[in-house]
Amino acid sequence: MNIALIGYGKMGQIIERFALERGHEVVLKISAGNLDELTVSNLRKADVAIDFSTPDTAIKNIYTCFDANIPLVVGTTGWYGQLQEIKNECLSRNTSLLYGSNFSIGVNLFFHINEVLAKIMNDYPAYDVQVEEIHHTQKLDAPSGTAMTIAEAIIDNLDRKTEWVNELEGQTEIEVVKQDQVLIASQRIENIPGTHTVLYSSEVDEIEIKHTAHSRAGFALGAVVAAEWLKNKQGFYNISDIFNFK
């Protein structure tokens, strides 16, 4: 499979390593220094594109891939406010896109456990819940896309929660978290690839589930597997469509 890498930073470079190991060829690598090469004709040399760029540039890249009619995997976070517009555009143009806030198998297992736990906690109102996320200091968006996915699943499954609010340590502070809100507490610490915790606390105890990424390898391998899965498909998908946890 020929792959176009849109975004060749921390993630793009590790994705390239896994792509080559799995027998693929990387035919285009785009970063801030060679944006003029991100053209429809160059993209058409690839079977699939993988975007790990920046929150502010992902939408434009997605439209360029739609113009090239090339299947696209989007790992970039921070653009989900425009998700519905992109979904409509993808479906009306009969092209294909798969996106996900986190491509690692471990985090996708964690997503499943989080949903089951949130459903169970409907019967236990003594517990309040909060989400915590820690990432490296170069991260441009807060909260992390993964933390948003976790909080939205809690809201969808735990009747007493209706929205999330975000606090970024040292930058934004929430004075009062209302009872129907899920607090996402974000921290930025050097060299942390990604840590997410869901914490249920009562007066007498706490229940905590936690995922700690030891490196970016899980995200990168997941992105290549997602590209292999998407290559001959048409439609709009989420990474959860690849997994079938019982």
Within the chain, residue ranges assigned H as helices are 10-21, 40-43, 58-68, 83-92, 105-120, 145-157, 217-230
Q: Is residue 108 within the footprint of ligand NAD (CB under 6 A)?
A: no
The two most distant CA atoms of the chain are separated, in Å, by 62
Please say whether the beta carbons of 190 and 136 come within 8 A: yes
Q: Is residue 101 within the footprint of ligand LLHOTIJI (CB under 6 A)?
A: yes
Nearer to ligand LLHOTIJI (CB atom), residue 193 or residue 235: 193
Q: Do the annotations mark residue 145 as ligand-binding?
A: yes
Among candidate residues 87, 119, 139, 231, the one labeled active-site is 139
Phi, psi of 12 (to 5 degrees): -55, -40
10 is catalytic: no
Among candidate residues 24, 135, 196, 211, the one labeled active-site is 135
Q: Is residue 64 within the footprint of ligand LLHOTIJI (CB under 6 A)?
A: no
Q: Do the annotations mark residue 232 as ligand-binding?
A: no
Nearer to ligand LLHOTIJI (CB atom), residue 139 or residue 231: 139
Please state, in angstroms and rounded to a whole number, the distance separating the CA atoms of residues 94 and 109: 30
Please state, in angstroms and rounded to a whole number, the distance separating the CA atoms of residues 39 and 63: 11
246 is catalytic: no
Q: Which residues are part of the catalytic machinery?
A: 135, 139
Q: Can you say which residues are annotated as belonging to the binding site?
A: 37, 75-77, 100-103, 136, 145-146
Binding residues for (S)-2,3,4,5-tetrahydrodipicolinate: 136, 145-146
